[in-house]
Amino acid sequence: MTRLSAIVYHLSRLGLAAVFIYAGFIKAVDPVTFAGQIANYQILPYAWNYLVAATLPYLELLCGVLLLLNQRVRPALLVLFVLNVIFMLALTSAIIRGFDIDCGCFKPDAENRTSPLMALWRDIGLLLLMIPTWLLHDRRQPAEHNK
Amino acid sequence: MLCALALTVGFSINYQLVMDAFSGKTVATPVGKTVPPATGTASSVVTNAYPDLVELEELDELLAEGALLVDARNLAAYRISHPLGAVPMPLEELTTRLPRFMQQVPRDRVLIVYCTGFGCPDSFDLGARLLREGYRQVRVFEGGFPLWRDEGRPLAEGLE
């Protein structure tokens, strides 16, 4: 693994870790508000919004922490990839139905809320960040073992 | 494995919340906000009462019977667009607006309070306050302004 690819790998890994730890933490401390944000998408039955709000932030947190610690990177990336794709499908459905709602990605903020379209672009950015993390993690292993 | 661990932790921590939601109890309790204590004497009967929810279908019936929509969002949001016939009552302006409201609106009128949709606690805060002020039939429309607008209900612009 070259020095440049090592830097790219660690930067993208830490970037993803920071995003998902922040997103997970801020939603984990206020599950009721997060449940409301999910309910705004009008996809799940009422009570299921609360089940998702109760569990999803901890999945984001756990995966973020694993990325931060550089442990189980690929399983964590796989889970975050699937989550991200689900988020994007939900956002696309909100855009198609013309909903003007807060995306529910981070903390709800009436002044600076993120529209579904902006959130979709951000999710695409996160997906792009996952690619070098996944690929470079593979190449990193032999070098690490040879130490 | 990863998913199971996170889901178990999340579910364990929020067990009561999830159980309340699935048993149909009102769980959208206000978070991080407090309502200033009611002043005067009208509040002494129902100090801990909490408003019941109302769904869109029942809301239509109540409005046809003369219920009043009360908007708990901020004035800027109200000015841009609000349900036709709604009265603005942002929490930050309760001290100035509530006394006049109480003079004009009888206590037995059905009030439907809403704010910016699911998860918004302001409608519950305002609903609880109105109950403490003596209004006997206060309901919260959880879908709020977004659902009203998305269902194509009549809208108005401007301030009062």
DSSP secondary structure, B74-113, as one string: -HHHHHH-EETT-EE--GGGHHHHHHHHHHHS-TTS-EEE
Query: What residue ranges of chain B have pLDDT lower than 70?
Result: 23-49, 119, 160
State the pLDDT at residue A137: 84
Mean pLDDT of chain A: 84
Chain A: give the shortest CA distance to residue B22, in Å. 5
d(CA A15, CA A130): 10
Which chain B positions have a beta carbon within 8 Å of A47's beta carbon? 18, 21-22, 24
Q: How many helices (H) and strands (E) does chain A have?
A: 5, 0
List residues bridging with B113 in a β-sheet. B70, B140
State the pLDDT at residue A67: 94
Per-residue model confidence as pLDDT tens digits over A34-90: 887 887 787 887 678 889 999 999 999 999 999 999 999 999 999 999 999 999 999
State the pLDDT at residue A1: 67
C-alpha distances in angstroms, B120 versus A76, A96, A112, A117, B74?
Answer: 32, 24, 16, 22, 12
Per-residue model confidence as pLDDT tens digits over B74-111: 888 898 899 999 999 998 888 889 999 999 999 999 99
B82-83 and B138-140 beta bridge pairing:
unpaired
Selected residues 101-120 of chain B with any CB under 8 Å from a CB in chain A: 116-120
Q: Which residue of B has its CA nearest to A34?
A: B119
Percent of chain A having pLDDT more than 70? 87
What ipTM was estimated for this complex? Answer: 0.72
Is the domain covering B31-156 a CATH 3.40.250.10 domain?
yes
Helix (H, G, I), strand (E, B) or coil at B118: coil
B13 and chain A: CB distance < 8 Å anywhere?
yes
Of A31, A34, A62, the CB nearest to B6: A62
Domain count along chain A? 1
List residues bridging with B155 in a β-sheet. B83
Contact flag A32-B6 (C-beta cutoff 8 Å): no
Chain A: give the shortest CA distance to residue B14, in Å. 6
d(CA B30, CA B119): 9
Please determine, for residue A8, whether its predicted confidence score (pLDDT) is greater than 60: yes
State the pLDDT at residue B130: 92
- In chain B, residues under CATH classification 3.40.250.10 are 31-156
Contact flag B3-A59 (C-beta cutoff 8 Å): yes
B4 and chain A: CB distance < 8 Å anywhere?
no
Percent of chain A having pLDDT more than 90? 45
State the pLDDT at residue B136: 87
Chain B: give the shortest CA distance to residue A88, in Å. 19
Contact between B93 and B51 under an 8 Å Cβ cutoff? The reply is no
Average pLDDT over every residue of A1-9: 84
